[in-house]
Amino acid sequence: MTGSDALSAQPGPGRALPSPSATVPISLVNGFLASAGVQRDVVERYLRGAGIPIELLGEPHARVTEEQFSTLYRTLAIDLDDEMPGIFSRPLRGGTLKYLCLSLLDARNLETAQHRFGQFFHILLDDFFVESKRDGLVAQVLLRPNDAIGPIGALGQELMLKLVHGVCSWLIGQKIPLLQIEFACPRPRHAVDHLYFFTGSVQFDCERTLMRFSADYLDAPIRQSKRNLRKFLARAPGDWIFESFSEQLVCHRVRQYLSAALPDLPAIDQAAEHLHCSVRTLSRHLAAEGTTFQVLKDELRRDIAIQRLTDTPDTIAAIGADIGFDDPSAFHRAFRHWTGSTPGTYRRRA
Protein backbone atom coordinates (compact mmCIF):
# COMPACT_ATOMS: atom_id res chain seq x y z
CA MET A 1 0.00 0.00 0.00
CA THR A 2 1.43 3.38 -0.98
CA GLY A 3 1.43 6.44 1.27
CA SER A 4 -1.49 7.91 -0.63
CA ASP A 5 -3.38 4.61 -0.49
CA ALA A 6 -2.79 4.40 3.25
CA LEU A 7 -4.34 7.80 3.79
CA SER A 8 -7.32 6.88 1.63
CA ALA A 9 -7.99 3.68 3.58
CA GLN A 10 -10.50 3.80 6.39
CA PRO A 11 -10.05 2.29 9.85
CA GLY A 12 -11.71 -1.10 10.22
CA PRO A 13 -14.40 -1.91 12.78
CA GLY A 14 -13.25 -1.46 16.35
CA ARG A 15 -10.19 0.58 15.40
CA ALA A 16 -11.66 4.07 15.59
CA LEU A 17 -9.98 6.25 18.20
CA PRO A 18 -12.00 8.49 20.51
CA SER A 19 -11.78 12.21 19.89
CA PRO A 20 -13.42 15.18 21.57
CA SER A 21 -15.94 17.13 19.59
CA ALA A 22 -14.93 20.38 17.97
CA THR A 23 -15.87 23.67 19.56
CA VAL A 24 -17.88 26.34 17.77
CA PRO A 25 -16.59 29.84 16.94
CA ILE A 26 -18.34 32.73 18.66
CA SER A 27 -18.99 34.24 15.21
CA LEU A 28 -21.65 31.56 14.65
CA VAL A 29 -23.29 32.40 17.97
CA ASN A 30 -23.33 36.09 17.04
CA GLY A 31 -24.71 35.19 13.61
CA PHE A 32 -27.58 33.22 15.11
CA LEU A 33 -28.49 35.94 17.56
CA ALA A 34 -28.38 38.57 14.82
CA SER A 35 -30.52 36.50 12.42
CA ALA A 36 -33.03 35.76 15.15
CA GLY A 37 -33.35 39.48 15.88
CA VAL A 38 -32.94 38.89 19.61
CA GLN A 39 -33.24 42.12 21.59
CA ARG A 40 -30.22 43.06 23.67
CA ASP A 41 -32.18 42.95 26.91
CA VAL A 42 -32.99 39.24 26.42
CA VAL A 43 -29.71 38.10 24.88
CA GLU A 44 -28.20 37.47 28.30
CA ARG A 45 -31.13 35.25 29.29
CA TYR A 46 -30.69 33.06 26.22
CA LEU A 47 -26.94 32.85 26.71
CA ARG A 48 -27.26 32.08 30.41
CA GLY A 49 -29.64 29.23 29.61
CA ALA A 50 -27.04 27.77 27.26
CA GLY A 51 -24.17 28.33 29.70
CA ILE A 52 -22.48 30.90 27.45
CA PRO A 53 -20.93 33.97 29.17
CA ILE A 54 -22.21 37.13 27.49
CA GLU A 55 -18.68 38.60 27.55
CA LEU A 56 -17.62 36.05 24.93
CA LEU A 57 -19.74 37.77 22.27
CA GLY A 58 -17.20 40.57 22.05
CA GLU A 59 -14.13 38.34 21.91
CA PRO A 60 -13.46 37.36 18.27
CA HIS A 61 -11.41 34.27 19.16
CA ALA A 62 -13.83 32.89 21.75
CA ARG A 63 -15.36 29.41 21.39
CA VAL A 64 -18.31 27.51 22.84
CA THR A 65 -18.98 23.79 23.05
CA GLU A 66 -21.27 21.92 20.67
CA GLU A 67 -23.72 21.32 23.52
CA GLN A 68 -23.83 25.02 24.41
CA PHE A 69 -24.46 25.94 20.79
CA SER A 70 -27.12 23.24 20.34
CA THR A 71 -28.89 24.35 23.54
CA LEU A 72 -28.97 27.97 22.33
CA TYR A 73 -30.28 26.84 18.93
CA ARG A 74 -33.06 24.73 20.46
CA THR A 75 -34.13 27.50 22.84
CA LEU A 76 -34.32 30.10 20.08
CA ALA A 77 -36.22 27.69 17.82
CA ILE A 78 -38.80 26.96 20.52
CA ASP A 79 -39.26 30.54 21.72
CA LEU A 80 -39.49 32.00 18.21
CA ASP A 81 -41.44 29.02 16.81
CA ASP A 82 -38.89 28.93 13.99
CA GLU A 83 -36.57 25.97 13.43
CA MET A 84 -34.23 28.21 11.41
CA PRO A 85 -34.47 31.17 13.79
CA GLY A 86 -35.00 34.31 11.71
CA ILE A 87 -32.76 33.11 8.89
CA PHE A 88 -35.31 32.97 6.08
CA SER A 89 -38.14 35.23 4.91
CA ARG A 90 -40.75 33.31 6.89
CA PRO A 91 -40.48 31.04 9.95
CA LEU A 92 -40.12 27.29 9.74
CA ARG A 93 -42.66 26.48 12.43
CA GLY A 94 -42.12 23.90 15.12
CA GLY A 95 -42.51 20.41 13.66
CA THR A 96 -40.95 21.26 10.29
CA LEU A 97 -38.05 18.83 10.69
CA LYS A 98 -40.40 16.15 12.04
CA TYR A 99 -42.81 16.30 9.11
CA LEU A 100 -39.98 16.65 6.60
CA CYS A 101 -38.48 13.40 7.84
CA LEU A 102 -41.86 11.65 8.00
CA SER A 103 -42.39 12.49 4.34
CA LEU A 104 -39.08 10.82 3.46
CA LEU A 105 -39.19 7.59 5.46
CA ASP A 106 -41.14 5.56 2.88
CA ALA A 107 -39.08 6.74 -0.12
CA ARG A 108 -37.78 3.96 -2.36
CA ASN A 109 -34.19 5.19 -2.09
CA LEU A 110 -32.16 8.29 -1.32
CA GLU A 111 -32.67 9.73 -4.80
CA THR A 112 -36.44 9.74 -4.29
CA ALA A 113 -36.03 11.16 -0.79
CA GLN A 114 -33.90 14.03 -2.09
CA HIS A 115 -36.52 14.89 -4.69
CA ARG A 116 -39.19 14.97 -1.95
CA PHE A 117 -36.89 17.12 0.19
CA GLY A 118 -36.81 19.74 -2.56
CA GLN A 119 -40.59 19.61 -3.04
CA PHE A 120 -41.17 19.94 0.71
CA PHE A 121 -39.17 23.16 0.95
CA HIS A 122 -40.68 24.49 -2.27
CA ILE A 123 -44.04 24.36 -0.49
CA LEU A 124 -42.72 26.00 2.69
CA LEU A 125 -40.35 28.73 1.51
CA ASP A 126 -39.98 31.12 -1.41
CA ASP A 127 -36.32 31.93 -0.65
CA PHE A 128 -34.68 29.15 -2.67
CA PHE A 129 -35.09 25.89 -4.55
CA VAL A 130 -33.33 22.67 -3.51
CA GLU A 131 -32.50 20.90 -6.78
CA SER A 132 -31.00 17.41 -6.87
CA LYS A 133 -29.65 15.60 -9.89
CA ARG A 134 -27.52 12.65 -10.95
CA ASP A 135 -24.68 13.59 -13.32
CA GLY A 136 -22.91 10.40 -14.30
CA LEU A 137 -20.93 9.18 -11.30
CA VAL A 138 -21.63 12.30 -9.27
CA ALA A 139 -24.75 13.42 -7.39
CA GLN A 140 -25.33 17.14 -6.92
CA VAL A 141 -27.59 19.14 -4.61
CA LEU A 142 -27.93 22.77 -5.69
CA LEU A 143 -29.34 25.56 -3.53
CA ARG A 144 -30.73 27.98 -6.11
CA PRO A 145 -31.92 31.36 -4.79
CA ASN A 146 -35.25 32.78 -5.89
CA ASP A 147 -34.40 35.91 -7.90
CA ALA A 148 -37.64 37.52 -6.75
CA ILE A 149 -36.51 37.25 -3.12
CA GLY A 150 -32.79 37.93 -3.46
CA PRO A 151 -29.60 36.15 -2.42
CA ILE A 152 -29.47 33.78 0.54
CA GLY A 153 -27.33 34.90 3.46
CA ALA A 154 -24.14 33.00 4.24
CA LEU A 155 -25.61 31.42 7.39
CA GLY A 156 -28.70 30.29 5.49
CA GLN A 157 -26.54 28.68 2.79
CA GLU A 158 -24.44 26.82 5.35
CA LEU A 159 -27.42 25.58 7.34
CA MET A 160 -29.46 24.39 4.38
CA LEU A 161 -26.58 22.38 2.92
CA LYS A 162 -25.93 20.97 6.39
CA LEU A 163 -29.61 20.07 6.76
CA VAL A 164 -29.71 18.29 3.40
CA HIS A 165 -26.50 16.43 4.13
CA GLY A 166 -27.41 15.61 7.73
CA VAL A 167 -30.91 14.34 6.98
CA CYS A 168 -29.79 12.32 3.96
CA SER A 169 -26.94 10.74 5.93
CA TRP A 170 -29.33 9.84 8.73
CA LEU A 171 -31.85 8.34 6.30
CA ILE A 172 -29.38 5.80 4.91
CA GLY A 173 -27.65 5.16 8.22
CA GLN A 174 -24.19 6.46 7.32
CA LYS A 175 -22.42 9.76 6.83
CA ILE A 176 -22.21 10.59 3.13
CA PRO A 177 -18.65 11.65 2.23
CA LEU A 178 -18.80 14.88 0.25
CA LEU A 179 -16.58 15.38 -2.78
CA GLN A 180 -17.02 19.13 -3.01
CA ILE A 181 -18.90 21.99 -1.36
CA GLU A 182 -19.25 25.43 -2.98
CA PHE A 183 -20.69 28.59 -1.45
CA ALA A 184 -21.83 31.69 -3.34
CA CYS A 185 -20.63 33.94 -0.53
CA PRO A 186 -17.31 35.35 0.68
CA ARG A 187 -15.03 33.25 2.86
CA PRO A 188 -16.17 33.75 6.48
CA ARG A 189 -13.89 34.26 9.46
CA HIS A 190 -14.75 30.78 10.75
CA ALA A 191 -13.99 29.09 7.40
CA VAL A 192 -11.42 26.75 8.97
CA ASP A 193 -14.26 25.24 11.04
CA HIS A 194 -15.89 23.95 7.88
CA LEU A 195 -13.47 21.03 8.21
CA TYR A 196 -15.69 19.93 11.09
CA PHE A 197 -19.02 20.96 9.56
CA PHE A 198 -18.48 19.33 6.15
CA THR A 199 -16.47 16.30 5.02
CA GLY A 200 -15.01 17.48 1.75
CA SER A 201 -13.32 20.31 -0.10
CA VAL A 202 -15.02 23.64 0.75
CA GLN A 203 -14.73 26.63 -1.60
CA PHE A 204 -16.09 30.17 -1.28
CA ASP A 205 -16.79 33.05 -3.68
CA CYS A 206 -18.34 30.58 -6.14
CA GLU A 207 -21.14 31.23 -8.62
CA ARG A 208 -23.48 28.72 -6.97
CA THR A 209 -24.08 27.02 -3.63
CA LEU A 210 -23.98 23.25 -3.97
CA MET A 211 -22.54 19.98 -2.72
CA ARG A 212 -21.44 16.91 -4.66
CA PHE A 213 -20.99 13.28 -3.64
CA SER A 214 -20.80 9.86 -5.25
CA ALA A 215 -23.97 8.98 -7.16
CA ASP A 216 -23.78 5.47 -5.68
CA TYR A 217 -25.42 6.83 -2.54
CA LEU A 218 -28.55 7.81 -4.49
CA ASP A 219 -29.42 4.12 -4.83
CA ALA A 220 -29.08 3.46 -1.09
CA PRO A 221 -32.31 2.32 0.63
CA ILE A 222 -33.89 4.25 3.49
CA ARG A 223 -32.94 2.53 6.76
CA GLN A 224 -34.75 4.65 9.36
CA SER A 225 -38.15 4.34 11.01
CA LYS A 226 -40.53 6.47 13.05
CA ARG A 227 -39.01 5.04 16.22
CA ASN A 228 -35.52 6.16 15.13
CA LEU A 229 -36.93 9.56 14.20
CA ARG A 230 -37.80 10.37 17.81
CA LYS A 231 -34.14 10.02 18.80
CA PHE A 232 -32.96 12.08 15.83
CA LEU A 233 -35.35 14.91 16.69
CA ALA A 234 -34.42 14.83 20.38
CA ARG A 235 -30.76 15.38 19.52
CA ALA A 236 -31.42 18.07 16.89
CA PRO A 237 -29.68 20.12 15.70
CA GLY A 238 -26.57 18.25 16.83
CA ASP A 239 -26.96 15.22 14.57
CA TRP A 240 -27.32 17.25 11.38
CA ILE A 241 -25.05 20.23 12.03
CA PHE A 242 -21.93 18.60 13.40
CA GLU A 243 -19.76 15.95 11.80
CA SER A 244 -18.36 13.03 13.76
CA PHE A 245 -14.62 12.47 13.68
CA SER A 246 -14.84 9.07 12.01
CA GLU A 247 -15.02 10.48 8.50
CA GLN A 248 -12.66 10.35 5.57
CA LEU A 249 -10.80 13.63 5.97
CA VAL A 250 -7.15 13.15 6.87
CA CYS A 251 -7.34 16.00 9.39
CA HIS A 252 -9.95 14.04 11.37
CA ARG A 253 -7.68 10.99 11.50
CA VAL A 254 -4.71 13.09 12.60
CA ARG A 255 -6.86 14.65 15.32
CA GLN A 256 -7.92 11.20 16.52
CA TYR A 257 -4.29 10.08 16.68
CA LEU A 258 -3.19 13.19 18.59
CA SER A 259 -6.10 12.84 21.03
CA ALA A 260 -5.20 9.25 21.84
CA ALA A 261 -1.54 10.20 22.40
CA LEU A 262 -2.17 12.97 24.96
CA PRO A 263 -0.54 14.14 27.18
CA ASP A 264 2.31 13.29 24.81
CA LEU A 265 2.53 15.48 21.73
CA PRO A 266 3.76 13.43 18.77
CA ALA A 267 5.72 15.14 16.02
CA ILE A 268 4.51 15.12 12.43
CA ASP A 269 6.90 12.32 11.48
CA GLN A 270 5.32 10.10 14.15
CA ALA A 271 1.84 10.93 12.87
CA ALA A 272 2.92 10.17 9.32
CA GLU A 273 4.35 6.82 10.41
CA HIS A 274 1.10 6.00 12.22
CA LEU A 275 -0.85 6.76 9.03
CA HIS A 276 1.63 4.78 6.90
CA CYS A 277 2.72 7.67 4.72
CA SER A 278 5.58 10.11 4.34
CA VAL A 279 5.69 13.48 6.09
CA ARG A 280 5.51 15.14 2.69
CA THR A 281 2.38 13.19 1.73
CA LEU A 282 0.69 13.95 5.04
CA SER A 283 1.52 17.66 4.79
CA ARG A 284 0.20 17.76 1.22
CA HIS A 285 -3.11 16.17 2.21
CA LEU A 286 -3.55 18.53 5.16
CA ALA A 287 -2.76 21.54 2.98
CA ALA A 288 -5.41 20.38 0.48
CA GLU A 289 -7.90 20.31 3.37
CA GLY A 290 -6.92 23.84 4.38
CA THR A 291 -4.97 23.11 7.54
CA THR A 292 -1.57 22.09 8.96
CA PHE A 293 -0.31 19.65 11.55
CA GLN A 294 0.42 22.43 14.05
CA VAL A 295 -3.02 23.98 13.59
CA LEU A 296 -4.67 20.61 14.26
CA LYS A 297 -2.58 20.15 17.40
CA ASP A 298 -3.53 23.60 18.69
CA GLU A 299 -7.23 23.17 17.83
CA LEU A 300 -7.40 19.83 19.64
CA ARG A 301 -5.81 21.18 22.81
CA ARG A 302 -7.96 24.31 22.66
CA ASP A 303 -11.18 22.31 22.34
CA ILE A 304 -10.29 19.92 25.18
CA ALA A 305 -9.36 22.83 27.43
CA ILE A 306 -12.60 24.71 26.71
CA GLN A 307 -14.75 21.64 27.31
CA ARG A 308 -13.05 20.77 30.60
CA LEU A 309 -13.05 24.35 31.87
CA THR A 310 -16.76 24.52 31.08
CA ASP A 311 -17.91 21.08 32.20
CA THR A 312 -15.54 19.83 34.93
CA PRO A 313 -14.09 21.00 38.28
CA ASP A 314 -10.58 19.90 37.24
CA THR A 315 -7.84 22.32 38.21
CA ILE A 316 -6.35 24.53 35.53
CA ALA A 317 -2.94 23.01 36.17
CA ALA A 318 -4.31 19.49 35.68
CA ILE A 319 -6.05 20.44 32.44
CA GLY A 320 -2.88 22.02 31.10
CA ALA A 321 -0.80 18.99 32.04
CA ASP A 322 -3.26 16.60 30.43
CA ILE A 323 -2.96 18.38 27.09
CA GLY A 324 0.82 18.49 27.12
CA PHE A 325 1.76 21.66 29.00
CA ASP A 326 4.33 20.97 31.71
CA ASP A 327 4.53 24.67 32.54
CA PRO A 328 1.22 26.25 33.71
CA SER A 329 2.33 29.67 32.47
CA ALA A 330 2.82 28.23 28.98
CA PHE A 331 -0.74 26.89 29.08
CA HIS A 332 -2.04 30.30 30.16
CA ARG A 333 -0.22 32.02 27.28
CA ALA A 334 -1.43 29.48 24.73
CA PHE A 335 -5.04 29.63 25.93
CA ARG A 336 -5.04 33.42 25.80
CA HIS A 337 -3.69 33.21 22.25
CA TRP A 338 -6.43 30.76 21.26
CA THR A 339 -9.40 32.46 22.91
CA GLY A 340 -8.41 35.96 24.01
CA SER A 341 -8.94 35.01 27.69
CA THR A 342 -6.91 33.30 30.39
CA PRO A 343 -8.19 29.87 31.56
CA GLY A 344 -9.23 31.33 34.93
CA THR A 345 -11.18 34.18 33.37
CA TYR A 346 -12.86 31.81 30.91
CA ARG A 347 -13.94 29.46 33.71
CA ARG A 348 -15.31 32.25 35.91
CA ARG A 349 -17.43 33.52 33.04
CA ALA A 350 -18.73 30.03 32.30
- If asked whether residues 102 and 230 sit together in one domain, one would say yes
- If asked whether residues 156 and 222 sit together in one domain, one would say yes
Range of the domain at 292: 249-349
Chosen domain end from 216, 241, 266:
241
pLDDT of residue 214: 92
Residue 246 has pLDDT above 90, yes or no: no
Convert the pLDDT of each residue in 35-54 to its tens digit.
999 888 899 999 999 999 99
Convert the pLDDT of each residue in 203-237 to its tens digit.
899 999 999 999 999 999 999 999 999 999 988 89
pLDDT of residue 217: 93
pLDDT of residue 96: 97
- If asked whether residues 205 and 265 sit together in one domain, one would say no
149 part of a folded domain: yes
Convert the pLDDT of each residue in 291-324 to its tens digit.
899 999 998 999 899 989 988 899 999 999 999 9
- If asked whether residues 224 and 329 sit together in one domain, one would say no
pLDDT of residue 18: 37
- If asked whether residues 224 and 333 sit together in one domain, one would say no
Please report which confidence band the pLDDT of residue 102 belongs to, taking 50, 70 and 90 as the band edges.
Answer: very high
- If asked whether residues 225 and 283 sit together in one domain, one would say no
- If asked whether residues 170 and 118 sit together in one domain, one would say yes
6 part of a folded domain: no
4 part of a folded domain: no
Residue 144 has pLDDT above 80, yes or no: yes
Residue 252 has pLDDT above 90, yes or no: no
CATH number for position 263? 1.10.10.60
Chosen domain end from 241, 264, 293:
241
- If asked whether residues 191 and 325 sit together in one domain, one would say no
What is the average per-residue pLDDT within 68-78? 94
Domain count, the chain: 3
15 part of a folded domain: no
What is the average per-residue pLDDT within 322-330? 93
pLDDT of residue 190: 66
Higher pLDDT residue, 289 or 105?
A: 105
Weakest mean pLDDT among 132-141, 246-255, 337-346: 246-255
Please report which confidence band the pLDDT of residue 193 belongs to, taking 50, 70 and 90 as the band edges.
Answer: low
Higher pLDDT residue, 177 or 297?
A: 297
87 part of a folded domain: no
What is the average per-residue pLDDT within 81-97? 95
End-to-end CA distance of the chain: 48
12 part of a folded domain: no
pLDDT of residue 116: 98
- Range list of H helices, the chain: 3-8, 26-36, 40-50, 66-80, 96-104, 110-124, 154-172, 194-197, 226-235, 238-241, 250-261, 268-274, 279-288, 293-311, 316-322, 328-339, 343-349
- If asked whether residues 74 and 130 sit together in one domain, one would say no
Give which of 186, 211, 185 is closest to 197, Cα–Cα.
Answer: 211
Weakest mean pLDDT among 13-27, 135-149, 240-254: 13-27
Sheet with 201-203: strands ordered across: 128-135, 138-145, 209-214, 178-182, 201-203
pLDDT of residue 199: 66
86 part of a folded domain: no
- If asked whether residues 99 and 235 sit together in one domain, one would say yes
- If asked whether residues 232 and 112 sit together in one domain, one would say yes
- If asked whether residues 42 and 66 sit together in one domain, one would say yes
pLDDT of residue 171: 94
> What mean pLDDT value characterizes the chain?
87
200 part of a folded domain: yes
Greatest CA separation for the chain: 60
Please report which confidence band the pLDDT of residue 21 belongs to, taking 50, 70 and 90 as the band edges.
Answer: low
**CA dist., res. 336 & res. 328, Å (int):** 12
Entry pTM: 0.70
Q: What percent of the chain has pLDDT over 90?
A: 59
